[in-house]
Structure 1
Amino acid sequence: MQIKNEQIEAYTKFFHGLSNPTRYQIIISLLNGKKNVGELAEDLGYSQSLISMQLKCLKWCNFVNFIKDGKNIYYYISDERIRELIQLGQSIAEGSINNICTCEVLENEKNELREEK
Structure 2
Amino acid sequence: MKSCLIVDDSSVVRKVARRILEDLDYVVEEAEDGQEAYDKCRQEMPDAILLDWNMPIMSGLEFLKLLRAYVGGEKPRVVYCTIENEVGHIAMALKAGANDYMFKPFDRALLEAKFEEAA
TM-score by length of 1: 0.26
Structure with greater helix percent: 1
Structure with greater strand percent: 2
Greater relative contact order structure (CA < 8 Å, 6+ sep): 2
